[in-house]
Structure 1
């Protein structure tokens, strides 16, 4: 694969490009709106390729975000020319703010969006939903009238018996996808390795794109010394998806998820076939991180950034 500079990307760069959404408003960082917008502006200036330069915002804080954009004099973008593909490249100073909108469960699968703002481009929506809502949305998208104008939506099914049925009903319904929660403030919010493997394998089998959120604070699987929660690593998730995309079985995918040696993870990622890395990212599209610096620093420390090294 060729990068934006015209040079060939390494498999690691293919996996890492446009990976990290800005979830600074969410715990445990939980920045204030002024802090979050300012950090995001700084990230846009640096324009690191690992970042998507998408700002994740709950629908309930939309008005607060709009007020903050007014306070800092954020310019209105031009929808006619602002057609860059989100992810992996820094937006220009006059371009709109890319926002991933986090809708509440009560919004439903076809929930209404807030009033549009000329400074903001909603790139996608994320919403917790039950199987019935997801099935309805997939049915609507497959109709000619709706499908041609479909918005990218990631549905987050509640983990439990039958939860992977949500993946099956979304087969053939791109740009609809699913979202998996990888952690949180309680131990029960962390999926087990078998649960995460089954999710990735189901997405592979049905060609359903997925996002991840929460808990992926660092590159490799580790136990937080303060909370004692065992976190999944974002490199584990990338490698597991690549293994699945290359036809790997459950045991191989679980092995990738269980690896705690970050150096070994990095070696295996560097050794991937470039085409496999591309297929993996067609499935695993991005993840939300409350820190936009830690993922980049971890990848740099492991020698995965190559020509992106700052």
Structure 2
């Protein structure tokens, strides 16, 4: 296996089996996560994604994990409609997280919070509170912007990202962005140009990113179950990484996101290459750490199996 594959795919897939379209019962999802954590592809597996409202239900499965094999969690917060509701939910969620930590102790690791912001203008006061309180709780926080994909989406997005960047410039408690890249219906999928706008904007503002929804397959393709083209995780991460390495504009970034030819996405002994653009393994590793964290998927099998079918990982032993 080329080092570039390892650096690109390591801890890339956060397992979100509780969420649609899989929407598994908790017992099935947690057993899957435990099993994935013990197989040969465990190096690709990130955290178990769980809503904060269901955190207490995991107590029954403590015996499956230990200090040597902890349950690693990314916590998803509840949606809110106002700044005040958002602040109240945050306080309650952090209390739940600490209670759960006390119960699981060293058998659990909770270091990531995925926090939806309300669909209103976001000010410095709310971001300061989120950054301060989640940092005190030892959490790396990715805020999801919940603005509708309408004619005002871009202006709302850029204004919010400007506020996040301003917060990050003066605070050690950095905030990232979580981007939703799909769902169970066609209208949940942002256009390639919209994803490109976000990738360019976050790069220019040094805002780290996490992704969720729709990225089951390596390369963009039409899927009948959603009557739409689903974005590929290779497309999104190649686009984001090459945007950093080559200072690409949104039009060039969108070309990578739109590409449906698997042969254009290559791992080499030196790094990755898409058409004439490349970057080194060291740059991949740095970009994953600082800028492009991971993505949530309700399937772990689909991404890894399809990577093998495309001969991107080698054959299963």
TM range (shorter): 0.7 to 0.9
For residue 278 of structure 1, report the CA deviation from its aligned partner.
2.8
Q: State the Cα distance separating 1:283 from its structure 2 match.
A: 1.2
Instruction: Provide the rounded CA distance (Å) in 1 between the counterparts of 2:47 and 2:123.
Output: 24
Aligned to 2:30: 37
Q: 1:266 aligns to what SS in structure 2?
A: strand
2:163 to 157, 169, 173: 169
Shift of the 19–218 alpha-carbon distance from structure 1 to 2, 3 Å rule, reads same
Task: Give me the whole-angstrom Cα distance separating, in 2, the residues matched to 1:146 and 1:101.
Answer: 12
> What runs of 5+ residues in structure 2 fail to find an aligned partner?
148-152
Mapped partners of 1:179, 1:36: distance in 2? 22
1:260 is aligned to 260
Q: Which runs of 5+ in 1 are unaligned?
A: 1-7, 78-91
> Which structure is higher in strand share?
2
How far 1:245 moved relative to its partner? 0.5
Higher share in helix: 2
Q: 1:288 aligned to 2:296?
A: yes
Alpha-carbon distance between aligned partners in 2 of 1:108 and 1:47, rounded to the nearest angstrom = 40
* Equivalent in 64, 67, 78 of residue 104 of structure 1: 78
Report if the CA contact (8 A) 1:30-1:290 is conserved: yes
2:285 alignment partner, SS class: helix
Within 5 Å, which residues of 2 pair with 1:30-109?
A: 30-46=23-39, 48-67=41-60, 69-70=61-62, 73-75=63-65, 77=67, 92=68, 95-106=69-80, 108-109=86-87
How many pairs were matched up?
282
Report the Cα distance in structure 2 between the residues aligned to 1:297 and 1:134, rounded to whole angstroms: 43
Map of 1:87-236 to 2, 5 A cutoff?
92=68, 95-106=69-80, 108-109=86-87, 110-112=90-92, 113=94, 114=96, 115-116=99-100, 117-118=103-104, 119-130=107-118, 135-140=124-129, 151-159=139-147, 160=153, 161-171=155-165, 172=168, 175-236=174-235
Q: CA deviation at 1:284?
A: 1.2
Structure-1-length-normalised TM-score = 0.81
RMSD: 2.7
Q: Tell me the alpha carbon deviations over residues 93-142 of structure 1, each in whole angstroms, 9 at most, x when there is no partner.
A: xx321111111023625433212232432221112103655733543477
